[in-house]
């Protein structure tokens, strides 16, 4: 596990981001105690509609939870709104957005516990000692973006952006009948640094939010007659 961890850390330190292959992420999460991926993944079938969409879209479902993360400890915080300033999210930011809470079963699931511990193991050592917090304010989002005929689903309707945190993990949970949904990474001057498409469960994008912008192209149904969606987990960590 340490080799996989070190490889991701080195890539993020060098480039400001990294694509993590499913096998590497699987090794990391297995070491951190992952069990019952199927049950965890199935919980994306039970998300609430995001009614704060300034573009009027009804294509995003989500749940949200906040945690305190420190060495070896994962503690859920009381349910709270998600806030981004308009500097970071000119489309949907500037107000407290209350989303449905992540269920108790998902909040205590071994998969989420393993993912949060892995995030800490990745990101805490990448943080300079002088800025490293005692406890990381950590937010977890379950997202489903639905694509319909004539209405592409936009994973990042705000476009290329930063989340306004220190570190970001975006993990693919499931893709069903969608094309595109390509993750793009730009430097702070807007120059493209890389792009990749999360296709297989566990494949992830890891981002140093201070150094790069990220965005995802819209998803479209391959067969418009049947449901089409892209499920991801997003974990952000910032100094409290
Ligand atoms: Fe983001």
Expressed in angstroms and rounded, the spacing between residue 134 Cα and the centre of ligand 1 is 24
Domain extent at residue 151: 3-239
**What's the CATH code of the domain at 173?**
2.60.120.620
Q: How many CB atoms lie within 10 A of CB 13?
A: 12
Sequential pLDDT tens for the chain (240 residues): 578 899 999 999 999 999 999 999 999 999 999 999 999 999 999 999 999 999 888 999 999 999 999 987 999 999 999 999 999 999 999 999 999 999 999 999 999 999 999 999 999 999 999 999 999 999 999 999 999 988 889 999 999 999 999 999 999 999 999 999 999 999 999 999 999 999 999 999 999 999 999 999 999 999 999 999 999 999 999 997
Alpha-carbon distance of 120 to 210, in angstroms, equals 17
Tokens representing 41 are: 């993944």
Alpha-carbon distance of 163 to 160, in angstroms, equals 10
Expressed in angstroms and rounded, the spacing between residue 168 Cα and the centre of ligand 1 is 8
pLDDT given at position 59: 94
Alpha-carbon distance of 219 to 140, in angstroms, equals 22
How many domains are contained in the chain?
1
Expressed in angstroms and rounded, the spacing between residue 53 Cα and the centre of ligand 1 is 15
Expressed in angstroms and rounded, the spacing between residue 16 Cα and the centre of ligand 1 is 14
pLDDT given at position 19: 98
Q: Which residues pair with 97 in a beta bridge?
A: 82
Expressed in angstroms and rounded, the spacing between residue 214 Cα and the centre of ligand 1 is 6
């Amino acid at each position: 596990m340490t080799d996989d961890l070190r490889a991701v850390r080195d890539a993020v330190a060098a480039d400001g981001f990294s694509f993590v292959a499913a096998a590497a992420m699987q090794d990391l999460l297995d070491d951190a105690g992952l069990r019952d991926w199927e049950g965890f993944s199935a919980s994306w079938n039970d998300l609430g509609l995001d009614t704060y969409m300034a573009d009027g879209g009804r294509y995003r479902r989500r749940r949200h939870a906040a945690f305190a993360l420190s060495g070896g400890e994962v503690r859920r915080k009381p349910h709270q709104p998600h806030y981004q300033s308009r500097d970071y999210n000119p489309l949907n930011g500037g107000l407290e957005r209350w989303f449905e809470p992540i269920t108790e079963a998902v909040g205590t699931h071994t998969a989420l516990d393993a993912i949060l511990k892995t995030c800490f193991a990745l990101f805490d050592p990448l943080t300079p000692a002088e800025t490293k917090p005692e406890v990381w304010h950590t937010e977890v989002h379950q997202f489903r973006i639905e694509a319909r005929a004539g209405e592409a689903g936009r994973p990042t309707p705000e476009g290329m952006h930063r989340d306004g945190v220190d570190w970001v993990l975006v993990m693919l949970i499931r893709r069903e009948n969608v094309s595109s949904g390509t993750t793009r990474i730009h430097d702070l001057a807007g120059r493209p640094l890389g792009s990749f498409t999360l296709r297989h469960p566990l494949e992830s994008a890891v981002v140093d939010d201070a150094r790069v912008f990220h965005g995802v192209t819209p998803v479209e149904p391959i067969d418009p007659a049947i449901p089409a969606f892209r499920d991801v987990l997003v974990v952000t960590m910032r100094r409290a």
